[in-house]
Amino acid sequence: MWNKISHHISNRLAVLLTLLTLVILSINATIVFNRTYQDDLFQSRHNVTQLVGAVANTAAISVYVRDTVLASEVVDGLSASDLISAVALRANSETISEQGSFIDGKKNDWIHFPLYAPFDKDELTGELIVQANDELIASYANKAALQYVMFMAIHSLILIMAVVLLLNYQLVRVIRKIASSLHDITPGSNQRIQVETRHKNDEIGMLASDINQLLTSVETTLTRERTLREEVENLERRFRSIFEQASGGIALLDQNSFLKVHNPSFATMLGDERMQRLTSTERESLAAIIESETNAIQNAITQALNEDGPISLDIKLGDETETCWVHCLIAKMQDDSNNAPLLQIIMQDVSERRFREQSFQVQAELDPLTGLFNRRAGKAKIQQLLDDAVGTSEHYALLMLDLDNFKPVNDNFGHDAGDRVLMRLAEELRNTVRSGDVVIRWGGDEFLVFIKQINYTLEVGQIAEKLLKVIQRPIPLDNQNNAQIGVSIGVAIFPDHGFDLELLTQRADQAMYQVKLTSKDGYAFYNDVISEKE
């Protein structure tokens, strides 16, 4: 019940004012009742005294002359008053007349009036004893006090009701109206609270004005926040679109390279099988799923966590059917929450660039006419093999080939014919040696073959014989003419004839020229040349 009443200010105010008034009224009523009671009691006794005083002279005469008839009239007259319960007229110790019954237990309440002689005011002739009707006097006093208290209570209740009604009309009703208006206002709209003109300059008007200012501030704030939210949403959509549609793979990793977020291109680059391993219940790290690049990725992640700038590396992704190269940028991301940093990884497919670079590298290493290694690339290849062979028991053979009878082809049939002959011979050389051997166009009509062999006395000689045979085969130039080419071959053995490429080339060249000077269309080892000179 109290909960329902307490929902309204007017009800609470009325209850509180009533309780406060009752408390004050109780205190005041007690004080007023006691004061009124005592005043009425005193006034009644005073009236008794005045009444006795009015007949005091007559009573003194009746006592002085011992006139019992007059004394009886005086006593009867006094006892006729409701305020007096007993009256006695005495001359010294003799009772001349008495009316009513004196109560011995209330002797202290008896009123004694001395009587003096009419002609001598100093001569005491008797006394008039009066016992006031205390019960009646108290009853009158109590009734008068109660009436006064009731009047105060009614007056207070009327005042409370008037105050409550005035407060309800002047304050509560207006506040309720303002609250209702505020309840109907949509936050952020241009609606405002309207108050009556009479409240324009008072506290109600100030309250409404402050609320309107607050509503204006809310409207401004909401408008600004709405605009900012729209901008943020637009930016978020744009960034989401960029993230989702980016051609490069974008992902967030934790410090252990476990996947947190990724875009579709990232999944496409890695493939279904790797993504399944990254996102399954028993997920694996990015470094773990790219087995061939595990160490490189883990080192790059460690470096990125310890440095401020991005770390870049190329990793090779491949399967049984296709190989691709991906350029990765790995950078640390740290927000304001002091959580563990994340790693941002951006992947870009650079397969075409890598293949193009490889193609450029191959083109830079190959002779454009024959497709064999050119002199620079061939020397680097051979030098690498020689460096790897130092300290081992491996043997290599370096064969220097110089074509015989090639110049007449250029002179008689033109350089195009000569080019066709060189291309045909280059193909024959590639097909004759093993895949691990190196064939170089050393320059013009000179070739160099570098082979790995076990028993060079037998194996190298066999290879040289094969090269002689394939080169000596007729090469068609047109429908009517063939080119008949020979070759002189000089052979130097690593490490028997030298440990470095320059010395081996020089000694193979010496052996080759010895063949040219003697017979042509043959081969010779460097040690054979030395033996002949000796």
Lowest model confidence (mean pLDDT) among 32-46, 343-357, 506-520 = 32-46
Q: What is the mean pLDDT of residues 223-238?
A: 85
Q: Over 70: is that where the pLDDT of 503 sits?
A: yes
Exposure b/e, 34-68, CB count within 10 A at least 16 = b: eebbeebbeebbeebeebbeebbebbbbbbbeebe
Please indicate whether residue 11 or residue 411 has the higher confidence score (pLDDT).
411
Q: Over 80: is that where the pLDDT of 232 sits?
A: yes
| Cβ atoms of residues 327 and 348 within 8 Å | yes
Q: Over 70: is that where the pLDDT of 6 sits?
A: no
Q: With cut-offs at 50, 70 and 90, classify the pLDDT of residue 168.
A: confident
Q: What is the mean pLDDT of residues 450-474?
A: 83
- Mean confidence (pLDDT) of the chain: 80
Domain that holds residue 376: 366-533
Considering the chain, what percentage of its residues have pLDDT values greater than 70? 89
User: What amino acid occupies position 448?
Assistant: L
Indicate whether 341 and 382 sit together in one domain: no
Q: With cut-offs at 50, 70 and 90, classify the pLDDT of residue 7.
A: low
What pLDDT score does 534 carry? 41
Q: What is the mean pLDDT of residues 238-250?
A: 81
Q: With cut-offs at 50, 70 and 90, classify the pLDDT of residue 456.
A: low
Q: pTM for the complete prediction?
A: 0.45
3-state secondary structure of 399: strand
| Cβ atoms of residues 86 and 72 within 8 Å | no
Q: With cut-offs at 50, 70 and 90, classify the pLDDT of residue 273.
A: confident
Indicate whether 379 and 331 sit together in one domain: no
- Asked whether residue 207 is domain-assigned, the answer is no
Indicate whether 333 and 384 sit together in one domain: no
Task: Choose from 164-173, 317-326, 427-436 the range with maximum mean pLDDT.
Answer: 427-436
Lowest model confidence (mean pLDDT) among 81-85, 244-248, 262-266, 513-517 = 81-85
Q: With cut-offs at 50, 70 and 90, classify the pLDDT of residue 532.
A: low
What pLDDT score does 457 carry? 59
72 is written with which tokens? 């009886």
Q: Over 80: is that where the pLDDT of 129 sits?
A: no
Q: Over 80: is that where the pLDDT of 262 sits?
A: yes
- Asked whether residue 201 is domain-assigned, the answer is no
- Asked whether residue 176 is domain-assigned, the answer is no
Which CATH number covers residue 391? 3.30.70.270
What pLDDT score does 467 carry? 93
What pLDDT score does 424 carry? 92
The Cα–Cα gap between 127 and 88 comes to 8
Q: Which of 294, 317, 346 is the last residue of a domain?
A: 346
Indicate whether 414 and 519 sit together in one domain: yes
Indicate whether 529 and 381 sit together in one domain: yes
Q: Over 90: is that where the pLDDT of 511 sits?
A: yes
With the CA atoms of 281, 287, 291 and 293 taken in that order, what torsion angle do they form, in degrees rounded to the nearest 10? 160
Count of CB atoms situated within 10 Å of the CB of 237: 10
Beta-ladder partners of 397: 451, 493
Q: Which of 291, 317, 346 is the last residue of a domain?
A: 346
Q: Which of 313, 346, 379 is the last residue of a domain?
A: 346
Q: Which residues contact 426 (CB under 8 A, 6 or more apart)?
A: 367, 369, 370, 371, 372, 439, 441, 447
Indicate whether 117 and 8 sit together in one domain: yes
Q: With cut-offs at 50, 70 and 90, classify the pLDDT of residue 442.
A: very high
282 is written with which tokens? 């028993």
- Asked whether residue 510 is domain-assigned, the answer is yes
What pLDDT score does 1 carry? 54
Q: Over 70: is that where the pLDDT of 319 sits?
A: no
Indicate whether 372 and 250 sit together in one domain: no
90 is written with which tokens? 């005495």
What pLDDT, in 10s, does the model give residues 61-91? 777 767 777 777 777 777 777 777 777 777 7
Q: What is the mean pLDDT of residues 125-146?
A: 75
Lowest model confidence (mean pLDDT) among 166-170, 295-299, 469-473 = 166-170
The Cα–Cα gap between 365 and 382 comes to 13
Indicate whether 380 and 322 sit together in one domain: no
Q: With cut-offs at 50, 70 and 90, classify the pLDDT of residue 358.
A: low
Indicate whether 62 and 20 sit together in one domain: yes
What backbone phi and psi angles, to 5 degrees, belong to 132?
-70, 150
Beta-ladder partners of 249: 347
| Cβ atoms of residues 523 and 490 within 8 Å | yes
What pLDDT, in 10s, does the model give residues 218-228? 888 888 888 88
Q: Over 50: is that where the pLDDT of 341 sits?
A: yes
Q: What is the mean pLDDT of residues 268-286?
A: 85
- Asked whether residue 205 is domain-assigned, the answer is no
Q: Over 50: is that where the pLDDT of 209 sits?
A: yes
Q: What is the mean pLDDT of residues 32-55?
A: 74
What pLDDT score does 157 carry? 81
Q: What is the mean pLDDT of residues 505-510?
A: 95
The Cα–Cα gap between 105 and 494 comes to 160
- Asked whether residue 339 is domain-assigned, the answer is yes
Indicate whether 309 and 372 sit together in one domain: no
What pLDDT, in 10s, does the model give residues 391-411? 788 889 999 999 998 988 888
What is the residue whose two structure tokens read 């004394």? 71
What pLDDT score does 359 carry? 65
What pLDDT score does 362 carry? 62
Indicate whether 340 and 372 sit together in one domain: no
What pLDDT score does 5 carry? 53
What pLDDT score does 524 carry? 92
| Cβ atoms of residues 266 and 347 within 8 Å | yes
What pLDDT score does 3 carry? 58
- Asked whether residue 189 is domain-assigned, the answer is no
> First and final CA of the chain: distance in angstroms?
136
What pLDDT score does 328 carry? 87
Indicate whether 330 and 372 sit together in one domain: no
- Asked whether residue 456 is domain-assigned, the answer is yes
Which CATH number covers residue 336? 3.30.450.20
Please indicate whether residue 294 or residue 466 has the higher confidence score (pLDDT).
466
What pLDDT score does 303 carry? 87
* Domains: count for the chain: 3
Which CATH number covers residue 124? 3.30.450
